[in-house]
Amino acid sequence: MQKTFRAISLSHKSAPVEIREVIALDEGSIHSLLLKLKDFFSITDTLILSTCNRTEVYYSHEIDLNEEIIKLIGLEKGLTNVVDYMDYFKIHNDDRDAIDHLFRVSMGLEAQVVGDMQISNQVKRAYQASADLDMAGPFLHRLMHMIFFTSKRLVQETAFRDGAASISYAAVELIEELTSNTYQPRVLLIGVGEIGEDVAKNMVHIPDAKVTITNRTFERAKALADEMGFEVIPFENCFEAMKEADVIVSSIMKSEPFITKSLVSKMEIHSYKLFVDLSVPRSIETNLEEIPGVMLYNVDNIRSKATETLEKRLASIPQVERIINESIEDFFNWKKEMMVSPTINKLKNALEQIRQEEMERFLKNADEAQIAIIDKITKSMMQKILKVPVVQLRAACQRDDADKMIDILSDLFDLEKDQEKKA
């Protein structure tokens, strides 16, 4: 039975943040889930992508395992009612549909901020996690390298990746807008993972801001602070720093809220205090904005103000889609040729076996020079004999008519019988 590439997707387009944070998988959970898929279903081509905006599983298998995989995600997350979340998952059960979706996600077409460049690195890490566990076969290796090649084409040929319009940059633009009347706004960045680091680097767009960084791993925060010329404080001092800050940006991974209403209600808020939650699961309690003077934004309600950049990106979408379609066509042409590769190899082996048998039969008394000449001549003859059927097979692939040609060659040269002998 032929394998089908499929995708299971829960994203910002199908689920609100309170659902996404329940399903979101950290690195340990992804590793564990990959091993379960390998052990339970012997899946060889699998990719698990989990970001603040999406949790997706891509896999190749003969049968539809979508429901089983969603249940395994529930098991991994300790959810007894995962069936209640089924409707939030979008299923791509067709090869081309699933591959098209992975391309669109990887290029940033499906991102909350169109063209978000962070997704490229997230996809690369997901691929590396699969490769490390030997869960990326020839199919996935080829597909991912085609995706990386396509990503380079977008940079070189379009304006789709121009500018900085990621979620983190959108957060900085929001901060700039809301602190426009504040002299040297004090900004506290809590957590310097990928998004937190990106926010810190984008803070150059607010040159008069006084930025302080804190992180569980002090050395990482210090390295970034030194690079950017910001202040750094130990993580245990972040609650004191919140009292002084005008803006608090939290991007830490935590299973429960780190900044609570009871904590913030003890602070003196003279004019305003802006909280930006870039974590999934959320690290700031949603009822925080009930406190007078507090403004709270999360990944769902941040909207980019980089209109010029976004307009360029949106205008580039038809060109991006054309490049993606070209890459998908190239990939499917490769996939079709892979279907006939076993037949080509069987034919080569059958002809080589005949050649070797005849060489052995007629050259028993020949010297080395004679054997070398005959060997060269017969190899050349065999390559010329192979050329036409190989060309015809590949042409049949392009016509989606390879099955008939495979059957004809198999019958003509008794290829299946030849394989049985070897077995």
**Amino acid identity for residue 393 in this structure:** L
CA nearest 275: which of 348, 190, 346?
190
Q: CA-based angle 273:252:270, to the nearest 5?
A: 10
CA distance 298 to 23: 17
Question: CA 219: distance to chain centroid?
Answer: 29
Which phi and psi angles does 111 have, rounded to 5°? -70, 160
Q: Is 397 a catalytic residue?
A: no
Residues in CB range of 401: below 8 A, 6 or more apart: none
Structure tokens given for 392? 């015809």
**Residue 362: CB atoms within 10 Å:** 10
Residues in CB range of 228: below 8 A, 6 or more apart: 200, 201, 203, 204, 211, 213
Active-site annotation holder among 52, 167, 175, 203: 52
Strand partners of residue 10: 55
Give catalytic residues, as residue numbers. Answer: 52
